[in-house]
Structure 1
């Protein structure tokens, strides 16, 4: 390569890395505004890709009129960098503007979709227009001689390699180290570096004459435009489907997503690199037909592997005992499942670019082809996510993609190749189906076999919002899974799930409205609805989980989803609260593990501030906190993030899990209220149905919580210690704990044994009542003799518990 080509190649590597970092950061920022539902994220994607397509068309035309397309490219990169620099400061204002405009609208209101789309388009318009113009500008700079098509595809390859680096470095270095806003600044710095290189190139190359540039007005043939659109549609159809399946097979952490993206982009880059080395004389529709045949062949080879690969994690579990080694196994799994077909897909768009290349007059054509490819990508993403996956399932979608690729090959190839295309399609549709139990086994979580892994799959649904939701039967037990991860069952987990929702009764002072975030089996929701609330809202993102809870777990949730006081809302919890004007006496949160991508958003300080705004003065926040595979420091960070917003907090334990209660007012119980609740359905499965027995489950009182925070915080300022939407600490730290077998519940308990755990105060009218309280606490803490003595002095209201205890062996 000449010096100019080396500079241009490095420039596009930087641009690709910056573009990927900026896109991920922008998407993350806008989830704070629009939520994380599939409709919300698809709205942002549609606006993003639509802006890029518009930019490709506009700058495809403008690039022919400017004197120096390299300088145009440089200024485009400068513009992108300026937007990236200003975005972090603008996000709070964007959130406030959206909240004001959409306040009071229900999550399913059609006007909300229009508002989201319009606002997303306005926010992303400038950077996406500029991004869309980069490829046409460079194409104009290369187009004044032979070899420009080869160089263009080499630069396209460089851009993809930069995106690979951006995905890997963003996931494993930039985001965990710098947080969101500073990662955006790193990306913006790359844009400025790319701009500087473009200015250097502009000084060393001849500028086309204005007249010549004006005459550059040819368009790509309609057939090539259609093939370019197909390239975008097929690539994104494959990406959405693969990522859906990989969430089940490989994992759901932010690191797993980074691996998926980097692997997919690596395949595209390798395909583009191969194509860029092909002689110009071999670039024709016949080659494109052969590529489509290879796409079909790659899918034929990999489709049967999806339910086999989970076993890899079991085999690797014998030696992969560190975070790094387990991530390496995930990389291998992604390569095995995606690399071959993604290489073939990666050749299609650069092949179309080269087939359309006409030195001196192709540049607007490049813009048009780029726009068609981008619009195809939007169509592929939306069509696959909202139509094909829910109706056909992942396996059938991949078979359809294989079939269409083979049909295109039939059209483009000579007769000798057509038999191969037909044979590939026939073999694909005759292959046996997947073992769904093994596919959704969850082996990837801890590299071991969970008890439910070999159960009978009774029910399974796929959706873009929840991935793969299933109900599995093992003997008499029914278990709900999401992407192979445990969500609840109808046997040994039921007492704990009831207890999670019952603990707030200890300190509840008002019973008007409750909000439950996360449904699962609905057992905890049933426990909340059994309490004397006038109405209960439940927010659940997945319609599949709602269906499974209604159809399979009604016997443990009291048929709560048919309860007239319960209002079911399908929405993202943070976005629901952002738009709601309602205040609650209880906000109960029981989600999956913190390390699930997106779950940590409900453990960040900003979420707690939002929840506090929607709580009555005496309202209680109740949140499940995992204790397994969690470092002591991350445990303290969770508590510190809550304490940063709530002046009062107590941590309880139930079923070896943490239950955090927090409030704006002191957490004090009332004996008279609690004894009225005892003996009712609200107290189900507590000893003798006595609510007071919950009081002895304190794991850390407020003094103990604060002491733990101080021990772990040391000299770190509190504002930097807590987890925030910008620091993303918990989202990137907690997945690492899954590989550490020393992080047990017992280890957490041992590490805090010296800290204070006094029971929350309960106001009592007389000494008998106090003896009743003391006896219930002693019972829960395993002090039988003390409990018998205190309960014997507790009067009539303590008698059911005393008799229950005396009957125990």
Structure 2
């Protein structure tokens, strides 16, 4: 191959890996700042906005200065090395800010404006230096490779396509492979190493071949000559006025990123919403943009029709593709049906990729062709290539910032996803109309006619079908209220099988009044075992039923942090009958914020911290099962405090349960396990970590039980202290720390978030029978393993119990096996367990097996 071709291919490879590293940085920065500021939509938007601001300002700055450099390739290399060096500052600054932010929040947290300003300053110091340098890489490479004034379109679009393809690959690798193999810290270092290597190789290439490292002297002189005349001559050289070109770039960025935000929301309605599915959707969108740039490259080589007409056609196609995407999405998902069914892991990913390709790939290619094709329009601009590209990228990126913010915080909450897409489709029509008004009469008439036809088509579509999409409903369910917020789509549903529920993103139930006493047990069980439950912190709220149960105890302070503000609003509007005055009681403070962030930034201490049930495979929830989160919680406990991690056994396998148990045991000196119910199959359990190893006091259980019964008006059933004690001890499983059953499991940390990456795979493997959740016989096997390792009689946590009270614990084991075998139809095998339960229970035993149902049964709604 000729030397020039080999060098050009080498530079394309360097630009590919530059884009790869940039997306790795972006993904990890969003995650890291989410841990610092909270995993809220606002924190993520702030991070992306500052990152894009750096790209926009860097594109403009370096684009103007690239012509002044003797070798733009050499400067490209030094900038890449600069990105690597500034990115390394992350390791120093993040630790400092994790220590500093709680202090700053204490000073300004009362003011949302000042708090946002502090977050912006912190994020800017972390992101701006590196992103500002990243913004210069494409203009500098364009300046190096565009050797003739009229070659910006063909060369620039090729470079844009390669760089964006690298970004798509980076998103895919970060979502699927790198964190699980290397951990986030080493993944970040890999990106640093890639940038340093790219920069070093570019500097070497620039030094070894002077001819290939700069524009030819004749071409350079011509470009410089044209640049000096730009102010007078550019209007008559360009086929469109320069302001309209920049406005088109701005509008394209605004609409494209806004559409991406809304498409991502739509996919959240029908997907597992794990780190994998998000990475697939993001990489598909970036791939579409890359292919769009390749289309623009091919179109740039056409001499007929004229560039403005081709641009108008692209704008019309972009508008049409966006306008029909709601109907297309509705059809390919069979009316927002959950994708995957009984597919295994590989089949599920293939199904997602297929749907994402149908919904996003073809429309995204059209959207992605608009911006790079503007380089063809700019071919006639005598400015230097780097300056043209820098201005173009800057305008597009500023539009992208405003588009993503507008879509997430204005359009979705006000208009909903469907109408927001139609509005963004209209953005392209507005630009198309503006171009038509300044072009030739023929073009004006043709384009105007097409635009009118497009408007008629869009306005004539049947919106009623999309307004009645059954979000969050199943057969005969009734939607009470739906809110499409900046965080998620949340619905309150009256279920056909009874009870009122909150569902997030169509299929994820946060709680239901039908399971009233089970949800109350999440408070009653740990609080009855604690000697002085004066202050309680809830990490997650859901319906509010769990937190409301705390108000039956003599608490002095209840703090609730719920990530989704839409959930807080809907719970207050539709669940007050079951929450015991949670939203009116002066002892209660509710924050619509990330619970982990609430704990880490606060200096308050609590007797109990109760972590709600979280779907372990959802993206972001893995942060709530990490060692660092448990260590934060431990620091926020009083000396006798306990941390309660509720786990849905019907959503984890032995592997995930073992990892979580091992991780909690690493943070707390003693961890014990309680049941949340004695249901036949699908159960919840609580891992209870103690800040200081303590003994369970049966007198405390009886005192709390008597308080609740007296407060609420005891009914005419046997309620001796022994009966009340037995009621709780039936739910005790065993001592995790003493059993040492999980010592060989790996730790789940912020650096190696195993739960976040393993749970999604397990979820799909269960669908094909390759794995099993801890339900039915699997659940009983787990219970028996723990009981066999440490029987109640030798359990250090139970040392204060009498022999009869040990029997109450064993009675719970017997009853759990009885109901499980009965549910399987094994009546003969189940009968001895029932007899054992009855023999071990106290004479005046309360037969109702739910503490909450007994203790709180005098509530008005019962």
> What is the TM-score with the length of structure 2 in the denominator?
0.84
Candidates 162, 172, 178, aligned match of 2:176: 172
Candidates 438, 448, 464, aligned match of 1:433: 464
- Indicate how the Cα distance of structure 1 residues 61 and 691 shifts in structure 2: closer, same or farther if over 3 A, else same: farther
Candidates 769, 773, 778, aligned match of 2:811: 778
Candidates 306, 311, 332, aligned match of 2:329: 306
- Deviation of 1:491 (Å): 4.7
> Structure 1: which 5+ residue stretches go unaligned?
442-450, 714-720, 794-798
Of stretches 108-117 and 665-674 in structure 1, the one that deviates more from structure 2 is 665-674
Alpha-carbon distance between aligned partners in 1 of 2:808 and 2:848, rounded to the nearest angstrom: 12
- 8 A contact 1:792–1:802 mirrored in 2: no
- 8 A contact 1:538–1:569 mirrored in 2: yes
Candidates 160, 184, 194, aligned match of 2:198: 194
- 8 A contact 1:646–1:663 mirrored in 2: yes
Query: Which protein is bigger by CA-based radius of gyration?
Result: 2
Are residues 1:597 and 2:626 paired? Answer: no
Alpha-carbon distance between aligned partners in 2 of 1:417 and 1:381, rounded to the nearest angstrom: 28
Are residues 1:41 and 2:44 paired? Answer: yes
Alpha-carbon distance between aligned partners in 2 of 1:803 and 1:180, rounded to the nearest angstrom: 48
- Indicate how the Cα distance of structure 1 residues 762 and 688 shifts in structure 2: closer, same or farther if over 3 A, else same: farther
Candidates 748, 762, 772, aligned match of 1:743: 772
Q: Cα RMSD over matched residues?
A: 3.1
Are residues 1:619 and 2:619 paired? Answer: no
Are residues 1:801 and 2:823 paired? Answer: no
Alpha-carbon distance between aligned partners in 2 of 1:722 and 1:804, rounded to the nearest angstrom: 35
- Indicate how the Cα distance of structure 1 residues 66 and 469 shifts in structure 2: closer, same or farther if over 3 A, else same: farther
- Deviation of 1:192 (Å): 2.9
Alignment of 1:503-652 (within 5 A): 503-652=525-674
Matched residue, 2:759 = 734
Matched residue, 1:723 = 748
Number of positions where the alignment pairs a residue of Structure 1 with one of Structure 2: 780
Moved over 6 A (4+): 209-215, 312-316, 682-689, 760-767, 802-805
- Deviation of 1:703 (Å): 4.5
Are residues 1:277 and 2:298 paired? Answer: yes
Are residues 1:670 and 2:697 paired? Answer: yes
Alpha-carbon distance between aligned partners in 2 of 1:153 and 1:498, rounded to the nearest angstrom: 60
- Indicate how the Cα distance of structure 1 residues 468 and 272 shifts in structure 2: closer, same or farther if over 3 A, else same: farther
- Indicate how the Cα distance of structure 1 residues 470 and 347 shifts in structure 2: closer, same or farther if over 3 A, else same: farther
- 8 A contact 1:295–1:402 mirrored in 2: yes
What SS class does the counterpart of residue 699 from structure 1 fall into? strand
- Deviation of 1:243 (Å): 0.8
Matched residue, 2:824 = none
- Indicate how the Cα distance of structure 1 residues 410 and 454 shifts in structure 2: closer, same or farther if over 3 A, else same: farther
Are residues 1:658 and 2:661 paired? Answer: no
> Structure 2: which 5+ residue stretches go unaligned?
235-241, 437-442, 678-682, 816-832, 855-862
- Indicate how the Cα distance of structure 1 residues 195 and 548 shifts in structure 2: closer, same or farther if over 3 A, else same: same
- 8 A contact 1:632–1:748 mirrored in 2: no
What SS class does the counterpart of residue 397 from structure 2 fall into? helix
What SS class does the counterpart of residue 463 from structure 2 fall into? coil
Of stretches 751-760 and 129-138 in structure 1, the one that deviates more from structure 2 is 751-760
Deviations along 1:15-69, whole A, 9 cap, x unmatched? 1111111111121122222211122222212211111111112211221211100
- 8 A contact 2:102–2:602 mirrored in 1: no
Matched residue, 1:754 = 785
Alpha-carbon distance between aligned partners in 1 of 2:726 and 2:172, rounded to the nearest angstrom: 52
- 8 A contact 1:65–1:213 mirrored in 2: no
- 8 A contact 2:249–2:395 mirrored in 1: yes
- 8 A contact 1:788–1:802 mirrored in 2: no
What SS class does the counterpart of residue 846 from structure 2 fall into? helix
- Indicate how the Cα distance of structure 1 residues 491 and 390 shifts in structure 2: closer, same or farther if over 3 A, else same: closer
- 8 A contact 1:268–1:343 mirrored in 2: yes
Deviations along 1:217-254, whole A, 9 cap, x unmatched? 65882211111111111111101111111111223111
- Indicate how the Cα distance of structure 1 residues 65 and 180 shifts in structure 2: closer, same or farther if over 3 A, else same: same
- Indicate how the Cα distance of structure 1 residues 350 and 586 shifts in structure 2: closer, same or farther if over 3 A, else same: same
Candidates 344, 349, 371, aligned match of 2:394: 371
Candidates 184, 208, 214, aligned match of 1:207: 214
Candidates 152, 157, 164, aligned match of 2:156: 152
